[in-house]
Structure 1
Amino acid sequence: MPPATIVGGMRQDEIWDTETAERYDTPGTGMFAPEVLGPTVDRLAELADGGRALEFAIGTGRVAVPLAERGVPVTGIELSRPMIAQLRTKADEARIPVVVGDMAEATAPGTYTLVYLVFNTISNLLTQQEQVACFRNAARHLEPGGRFVIELGVPELRVIPPGQQGMIFHHEPGYLGIDTYDVLTQHLVSHHVRFGEGREARISRCPQRYVWPAELDLMAQLAGFEFESRHADWSKAEFTAESRSHVSVYRLPA
């Protein structure tokens, strides 16, 4: 299957533009809330085990900046120049170097004890081949015994009634989130609807390829990794059949 660049009428390279980058950060709330970000940084610092870390799709530095403040040297790979520009308002190239490129194939200098992907970002690669290539790229960057960590949601397909193609995944005053699924291609499109004071609303969309945990484990095997652990969150809560997301850790043989 050739790389999928358009899903739901959206090109991946159109999503992470200047407008998106400028409104991406929400300091103190959402995924930037201390109760979300704190455990993430704590766990990654533990997994880095005193070595260097590489973040695939580093974005605006939501995780990389506080992780570097913890004393973990962090390098990033990022496809979106506008997202890197936002990161540069927080940390310069000397503090957090970033390679511009696709996380499935771009190469960062040196080797690392930890490579990590947070907040469903591997789903931005829209084919299985690209996602497998991402695992192999992580393996190329790691020292023997190094770890690859992925944070990823669990597809919500079992709660969708037969014949229905989508579901509301979140709603609050001023916001409505809807996911639509194509089960043949494992593609989903997240629709984000934001309401202002009047009748008008603003819609943004993000195409993804969802991955089941078992498929993720097989991708890891193909890249030479061994499964190490899976938890429901960064605080190491037990992963169960009811968990809506997971943090999975894979390790190269020492």
Structure 2
Amino acid sequence: MRDDDIWDTEAADGYDTPGIGMFAPEILGPTVERLAELASGGRALEFAIGTGRVAVPLSERGVPVAGIEMSAPMIGRLRGKADEASIPVVLGDMATAVAPGKFALVYLVFNTISNLLTQAEQVACFRNAARHLVPGGRFVIELWVPELRKLPPGQQAVVWQTEEGYIGLDRYDVLRQHVVSHHFRFGEGKQAELLRSPHRYIWPAELDLMAALAGFELESRHADWAGSEFTADSRSHVSVYRIPKTPAGS
């Protein structure tokens, strides 16, 4: 499964859930506020900008935002909210595509770096972020922590969320450090809808090494956008990396 196969027209049409899920004010509000703070009055670039879930309210907050996105249907949905002049977007892979100009902030939210399925591609993504940043600029990543502690010997899958009409299940391949997320949605009838997405999971320490290879330093890590403490029991993290203002050794 490729990203451009997963994020097709059907997925793009059903992606936005205004007011609930990822679009709930209690989730989106702190995300936008924190990113606006980290941009420090400069331009921001979103890798995998999608339909503009974060970019549109961040732009409305007064931060100039541009994006990189490999799914044309997702960009099409974004264009229903903001035109090219307001939020310019480059069609391409976030690990290699280049957006014009330099930025104070590059950000990558909601586990999206894990959509790159090899370590080499993930390292390239860090290097691409560094390529776009001014000295002192920041790269922000929101990422889940692999829940391997929930896997007893011989078991390959864990249910990570259950609610009315929805079950989320992850199936791990610990040898390749891969996981396939299964999203089951169903109503009162016999039929269910399944969406699968492949990922390469990354431990925080490995993420820090990728950052160092690209010339970043870890500035902060919290459990969420509101700044909660990151602990051994945290299920996700928001990590802020920074390019030094002056080269090492100067």
Distance 1:17 1:122 in 2: 19
Letter in 2 for 1:162: P
- The residue that corresponds to 2:20 in the other structure is 29
Give yes or no for the alignment of 1:218 onto 2:209: yes
- The residue that corresponds to 1:69 in the other structure is 60
- How far the C-alpha of 1:12 sits from its partner, in A, is 2.8
Distance 2:198 2:114 in 1: 8
The alignment's C-alpha RMSD in Å is 0.6
Tell me the SS of whatever aligns to 1:169: strand
Give yes or no for the alignment of 1:43 onto 2:34: yes
Per-residue CA deviations over 1:16-56 (Å, capped at 9, x if unaligned) read: 00000000000000110000000000000000000000000
Distance 1:206 1:89 in 2: 25
Distance 1:11 1:34 in 2: 31
Q: Alignment partner for residue 235 of structure 1, among 202, 211, 226?
A: 226
Tell me the SS of whatever aligns to 2:110: coil
- The residue that corresponds to 1:169 in the other structure is 160
Letter in 2 for 1:201: A
Distance 1:203 1:140 in 2: 38
Per-residue CA deviations over 1:131-167 (Å, capped at 9, x if unaligned) read: 0000000000000000000000000001111110001
Aligned residues: 245
Q: Alignment partner for residue 142 of structure 2, among 116, 136, 151?
A: 151
- The residue that corresponds to 1:56 in the other structure is 47
- How far the C-alpha of 1:128 sits from its partner, in A, is 0.2
- The residue that corresponds to 1:185 in the other structure is 176
Tell me the SS of whatever aligns to 2:38: helix
Provide structure 1 residue ranges, at least 5 long, that are not aligned to the other structure.
1-9
- The residue that corresponds to 1:253 in the other structure is 244
Letter in 2 for 1:63: V
Letter in 2 for 1:92: D
Letter in 2 for 1:188: V
- The residue that corresponds to 2:108 in the other structure is 117
Distance 2:31 2:164 in 1: 27
- How far the C-alpha of 1:11 sits from its partner, in A, is 3.0
- The residue that corresponds to 1:16 in the other structure is 7
- The residue that corresponds to 1:96 in the other structure is 87
Length-normalised TM-score, structure 1: 0.96
Give yes or no for the alignment of 1:244 onto 2:231: no
- The residue that corresponds to 1:134 in the other structure is 125
Distance 1:191 1:144 in 2: 40
Q: Identity over the aligned pairs, expressed in percent?
A: 77
- The residue that corresponds to 1:106 in the other structure is 97
Tell me the SS of whatever aligns to 2:4: helix
Distance 2:13 2:2 in 1: 19
Q: Which has the higher contact order (CA 8 A, sep 6+)?
A: 1
Q: Which runs of 4+ in 1 moved over 3 A?
A: none
